[in-house]
Structure 1
Amino acid sequence: MNRNYQMRLYMKDHLPLYLFVSVLFVMGVVFGALMVNALSPGQKEEMARHVNSFIQIVDQGNKFGGTAALWDSFALHLKWIGLIWVLGLSVIGLPLIFLLDFLKGVLIGFSVGYLVGQLSWKGMLFAFVSIAPQNLIVIPALVMCSVGACAFSLYIVKNRFMQKRGALYPTFVKYTSSTVVMTALLFGVALFEAYLSPVMIKWVTPMLVAAQIG
């Protein structure tokens, strides 16, 4: 009960940060979706070749995913979350944390926007099985890590520069522990991406073959 109370208190105290990071991410998604319209015909053609090639590979029954994909996916998540953790250790890292959140939104918005723009509802279906499921966990995890990093960075400012002395080590342990928990959660996401996501993608691929991007 005490832990639940502390969690609610933490969420309440850092609500402005949660709102700011979330809005920043949404802005990134919108910006990424709008970027699709800025692509030149040559760029769209090049991307179409890559997408069509992937669809053909899946449709032909070639295997993808598995152990190699697991570690590649987890390594990517680990680099992202690790960079946020490192940036949280310094005051100058704050704007870079916000930039990472915005860029994550841009990547997702661009990917979904391109698929939907080129394949209509079939692209939306493909995005639903290949992009949406894991990001339902990845996005909240990154938001929580970002808020924790920002909160710790601001705590350093108060502790060192505003003469509000406090115990830095316990706060650092809590900050690092929360990052470790999110890392474990993202390992679960990598498992999903490596073993379950390919199955879902193979399920919708036959519908995409008939509507390959021209």
Structure 2
Amino acid sequence: MNRNRSLQLYIKEHLSLYVFVGIIFIIGVVFGAVMVNALSLEQKQEMMRYLSNFFSSVEQGDFTDVRQSFEQSFALHIKWILIIWILGMSVIGLPLILILDFLKGVLVGFSVGYLVGQLSWKGLLFALVSVAPQNIVIIPALIVCSVTAMAFSIHMVKHRFMMRKGSFYEPFMRYSATILLSGALLAGVAMFEAYVSPVMMKWVTPMLMTMSP
């Protein structure tokens, strides 16, 4: 019963932040997809050459160093949430958190938009096995971290500049625990990207190389 009340209180207090961060992320996705149309012909050709080389590498099974792949993927994810954690402890970091969420949306939107734009349904298929699975976990984790960071930053402003009473210890521990839990989830995502994603990409790559869009 107490857990239900705590959850209801949490949703009531943070719903507006989740909606706001979600909108910022979606705007980033749309902006990233639109950016694909702004590429010049030379840029599209260069990216297509890079993509063709990537497909060849996947088909030949060049991604065999799963440990290195895991370490690189995990390092990227953990740096992202650590930056959010640090920004949440500074008042001026709040708008920067929103910029990070927007940029994440741009990256996702551009990646999927380019694949679909250049390879049609086969690009969508490749996006479903190379981009979508891990982002099902990554995006919610980043949004939760962002909202928690923003809430903690607002809490600091209220108590430091408005002279309200209260301890920073408990909110800080909850904030840090959220970041740690997200880090554990992203470690699982990194393992998926290292062990499972290359296999899934290898399944669909022959289709992309032998069929025209």
With the shorter chain as reference, the TM-score category is over 0.9
Q: Which residue of 2 aligns with 1:104?
A: 104
Q: Compute the RMSD of aligned alpha carbons.
A: 1.3
Q: Are 1:77 and 2:77 matched, yes or no?
A: yes
Give the TM-score of the pair, scaled to structure 1. 0.96
In the aligned structure 2, how far is the partner of 1:24 from the partner of 1:64? Answer: 37
The yes-or-no answer on 1:156 pairing with 2:156 is yes
Q: Deviations over 1:9-60 (max 9, x none)?
A: 2122100000000010000000000000000111111111110001111222
Structure 1, unmatched stretches of 5+, are: none
Partner residue, 2:114: 114
- Report the TM-score, using the length of structure 2 for normalisation: 0.96
Q: How does 1:177-188 map to 2 (within 5 A)?
A: 177-188=177-188
Q: Distance in 2 between matches of 1:173 and 1:184?
A: 16
Residues 1:170 and 2:170 are matched in the alignment: yes
Q: Are 2:7 and 1:14 aligned?
A: no
Q: Secondary structure at the match of 2:110?
A: helix
Give the secondary-structure state (helix, strand or coil) at the position aligned to 1:209.
helix
Partner of 1:56: 56
Residue type matched to 1:52 in 2? S
Match of 2:146 in 1: 146
Q: 2:23 maps to what in 1? A: 23
Q: Distance in 2 between matches of 1:63 and 1:190?
A: 14
Do structure 1's residue 123 and structure 2's residue 123 form an aligned pair? yes
Q: Which amino acid in structure 2 is aligned with residue 148 of structure 1?
A: T
Deviation of 1:141 (Å): 0.2
Distance in 1, matches of 2:64 and 2:100, equals 28
Structure 1's consecutive aligned runs of 4 or more residues displaced over 6 angstroms after TM superposition are: none
1:124-155 Cα offsets, whole Å, 9 max, x none, are 00000000000000000000000000000000
Q: CA deviation at 1:162?
A: 1.0
Alpha-carbon distance, 1:86 to partner: 0.3
Q: Following the alignment from structure 1 to structure 2, what is the Cα–Cα distance between the partners of residues 211 and 35? A: 26
Distance 1:61 1:90, change over 3 A: closer
In structure 1, distance between residues paired with 2:201 and 2:134: 13
Contact 1:116 1:124 in 2 (8 A): yes
Query: What is the CA distance between 1:212 and its match in structure 2?
Result: 6.4
**Identical-residue share of aligned pairs (%):** 60
User: What secondary structure sits across from 1:14 in the alignment?
Assistant: helix
Following superposition, the deviation at residue 163 of structure 1 comes to 1.7
User: How far apart are the structure 1 equivalents of 2:121 and 2:152?
Assistant: 43
Could you say if the C-alpha distance between residues 63 and 168 of structure 1 is closer, same or farther in structure 2, counting changes exceeding 3 Å?
closer
Give the AA of the match of 2:108: I
Deviates more, 1:185-194 or 1:162-171: 162-171
Residue of structure 1 equivalent to 2:193 = 193
Tell me which residue corresponds to 1:208.
208
Closer/same/farther in 2, CA of residues 61 and 160 from structure 1, 3 Å limit: closer
CA, structure 1 residues 101+175, in 2 after alignment: closer, same or farther (shift >3 Å)?
A: same
User: Aligned pair count?
Assistant: 213
